[in-house]
Amino acid sequence: MKPYYEQDGITIYHGDCREVLPSLKADLLCSDPPYGISLKRAQIVGDDCEFDPAMLLGYKDIILWGANNFTRKLPFGGWLCWDKRCSVEADRMYGSAFELAWCNDPSKFKMFRCLHGGVVNADGPNVPRVHPTQKPTELMHWCLGLYPKARMVLDPYMGSGTTLVAAKNLGRKAIGIELEERYCEIAANRLRQRVLEFA
């Protein structure tokens, strides 16, 4: 399949990941797939039926956000928790106060705090959210930082490309796959922007 975007070690494929994945290799699969919960506030392709992670489980290292919604289809593993509250006392917020990700390393039980909910965007006050379930870049930096040896990152449910942006910022190679072309274009535009400076 011809890439939709390819630059600086980052590649985007526009298509169905079930067709593209068999030809790809990666050190880390990090993704936020449709959970199968029929989200009422936004239309997410594939969210109308239970998610089956079987085709993703062959990768060496895996992080799957929202996996608490399909635990019965996962083997034993570890869990990552994203605490979205600004403090432990701040329980009142729009939406869930935390999100969970399953990883196939049963020794990994980690928590990360990054306020992101309602009108608060962890990527900055003037940075628009361009996908209904968009994760903050800081969260994806943290995820990739848990796997420092993973030089090639794969996100088969790329959405607006946050995992790829984080990989680019950290000097990693990455591949993203997305079914909806409008999100491929959004991700490509985000990737064309200057790489953030890190200390």
Q: Which two tokens stand for residue 37?
A: 């919960």
155 falls within a domain: yes
Q: How many domains does the chain have?
A: 1
Q: What is the pLDDT of residue 85?
A: 81
The structure's pTM equals: 0.85
Give tens-digit pLDDT for 136-170: 999 999 999 999 999 999 999 999 999 999 999 99
198 falls within a domain: no
125 falls within a domain: yes
Percent of the chain with pLDDT strictly greater than 90: 68
Beta strands at 98-103 and 78-83: parallel, antiparallel or unpaired: antiparallel
Contacts of 191 (CB under 8 A, 6+ apart): 5, 7, 8, 10, 12, 161, 164, 165, 168
Spatial separation of the C-alpha atoms in residues 64 and 20, rounded to whole Å: 18
Which has more confidence, 7 or 120?
7
10 falls within a domain: yes
199 falls within a domain: no
Which residues span the domain enclosing 17?
5-192
Domain of residue 153, CATH code: 3.40.50.150
Give tens-digit pLDDT for 65-106: 999 999 999 999 999 999 988 765 555 555 688 999 999 999
15 falls within a domain: yes
197 falls within a domain: no
Spatial separation of the C-alpha atoms in residues 112 and 100, rounded to whole Å: 10
